[in-house]
């Protein structure tokens, strides 16, 4: 997975377990993972009030190309429609 670049955007209300476990597994596998805050600062307050510090602000890396974008569940997303399949 060398040189495989993954973006993990985070926001206030993100599920801390999903963020930390995703990042940990990918980094152990050798991926270059960037945790980017969509908030005004790099520190976010996760769903259970745990503070997490992102690597960068999303606004600072908007032109960077990534091989994969992983979106951890965010407690703030409430209007998700499920289409029966």
Measured between alpha carbons, how far is 17 from 11 in angstroms, rounded to an integer? 14
Confidence class for position 43, pLDDT limits 50, 70, 90 = very high
**19, part of any domain:** yes
pTM score: 0.84
Residues 11-33 pLDDT 10s: 999 999 999 999 999 999 999 99
Q: Domain count of the chain?
A: 1
Within 13 Å, how many C-alpha atoms sit on residue 43's CB side? 3
CATH code at position 38: 3.40.50.880
**79, part of any domain:** no
Residues 55-78 pLDDT 10s: 999 999 988 999 999 998 776 554
Measured at the alpha carbon of residue 10, what is the angle toward residues 5 and 11, in degrees to the nearest 5? Answer: 160
Give yes or no for a contact between 56 and 42, defined as CB atoms under 8 angstroms apart: yes
**16, part of any domain:** yes
Q: Which domain does 12 fall in, by range?
A: 5-69
**14, part of any domain:** yes
Measured between alpha carbons, how far is 55 from 36 in angstroms, rounded to an integer? 6
For the chain, the residue count is 85
**80, part of any domain:** no
**84, part of any domain:** no
């Amino acid at each position: 997975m060398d040189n495989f670049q993954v973006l993990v955007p985070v926001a206030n209300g993100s599920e801390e377990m999903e963020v930390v476990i995703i990042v940990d597994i990918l980094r152990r596998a050798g991926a270059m993972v960037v945790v980017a805050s969509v908030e005004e600062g790099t520190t976010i307050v996760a769903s259970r009030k745990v503070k997490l510090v992102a690597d960068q602000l999303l606004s600072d890396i908007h032109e960077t190309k990534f091989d994969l974008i992983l979106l951890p569940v965010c407690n703030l997303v409430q209007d998700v429609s499920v289409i029966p399949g």
